Amino acid sequence: MLRPIDKNRLEHIYELLLKIADGDFAFEIERTDEDDEIESILILVNLLAEEMKETLRYYNFLKISESSKEYVTMLIILDSSFQIQFSNQQVQKNLGWSTLEIRHKSFASLLSNDSHQNWTNIAENVLFQPEYHIITKLTFICPKQLAKTFTTAINVIPGHIHGSPFIIISTFETLLKSQLIEEGLKQALKTVHNKDPNKTKRPNVLVKKQDIYIMQQIREHILQNLEHPLPNLRTLANQFGTNEYKLKSGFKQLYGITVFRFLTQERLKRASLLIQNTSLSIKSIAQMTGFKNVSHFSKTFKDRFGVKPIDLKKRQDSL
């Protein structure tokens, strides 16, 4: 016989699986502190939904032919006692609560248990710091006990002489993977702009599942061997049981970047990480990331990040 709490948790799992079956991957189940089989399945379903959401977002990004954007979705305005005074249509669309249902309710009642502490810390400061602004992750509860996590910005509008302040809660959506955001919108836009929509589409070379698997293996091989020279495409393809054409077109099709650009990108990411966090010499870092010599490394690095490795290192050392 199941405990009522377990029955409840199973209900949540069914609910989320139905959402997934319906093609909606934005929901998640609020975690409990239990450590058992049901919690394991609950976690796995959450991970599955997240994986589907991220994967589809990634492919959407590869396909879009216009610039990618971050945009505000939900907007909620609170009064100084943290009661909801206004919520836009997106709140209903994203969370499933109508404007009337949540009007005058406390904002905390929209949040999951895990986010309560986070919100309490914010609420303690928000009214007492001028121009308070924070971006954080908050998990909102939805009808049927499901939940959704959003990157959320909290700002305060100071009150006038006789008025009270208002708090603006806004959430964001983005079409980019977070790592792409970090590398700079500029870089992302460059990639997007380089795509000529009039260009003839390349044929799909990844027809078989095995072909995709081989591309994944090659990607892993590159990441595991950043410090070693990569053989030419023909040799690399032969090593993994495919041919040069499939490797060249298939890798680009799957990851949106050529094999050698990917290699350089990953080498530079690793080099930048080491420059910023260790006292290793530029020469050692160049060697550890597979560059033939320091001048080649320095030039490639500058082309990518707009700064020479040595200058970045000096900047880090002076901090």
Is residue 40 within the footprint of another protein (CB under 8 A)?
yes
Hey, what are 72's tokens? 């505000």
By beta-carbon proximity to another protein, the closer residue of 39 and 101 is 39
When asked if residue 220 is in the footprint of another protein (CB under 8 A), the reply is: yes
- Which of residues 2, 18, 43, 189 is near another protein by CB under 8 A? 43
Candidates 125-133, 140-148, 198-206, 271-279; binding stretch for another protein (CB under 8 A): 271-279
Distance CA 244, CA 299 (A): 29
Binding residue (CB under 8 A) for another protein from 60, 109, 120, 279: 279
Q: Is 105 in the site for another protein (CB under 8 A)?
A: no
Least Cβ distance, residue 154 to another protein (angstroms): 16
Phi, psi of 150 (to 5 degrees): -130, 145
Burial of 130 (0-12, 13-18, 19+ CB in 10 A): exposed
Q: Please check whether residue 180 is in contact with residue 82, taking contact to mean a CB–CB distance below 8 angstroms.
A: no
Burial class (CB in 10 A: 0-12, 13-18, 19+), 250: buried
Per CB under 8 A, the segment of 4-12, 154-162, 206-214, 217-225 that binds another protein is 217-225
Cβ atoms 312, 305 nearer than 8 A: yes
Number of H helices, E strands in the chain: 14, 6
Min dist CB 117 to another protein, Å, is: 8
The answer to whether residue 137 forms part of the interface with another protein (CB under 8 A) is yes
Residues that bind another protein (CB under 8 A): 31, 35-37, 39-41, 43-44, 47, 50-51, 54, 114, 117-118, 137, 149, 177-179, 220, 223-224, 266, 269-270, 273-274, 276-280, 284
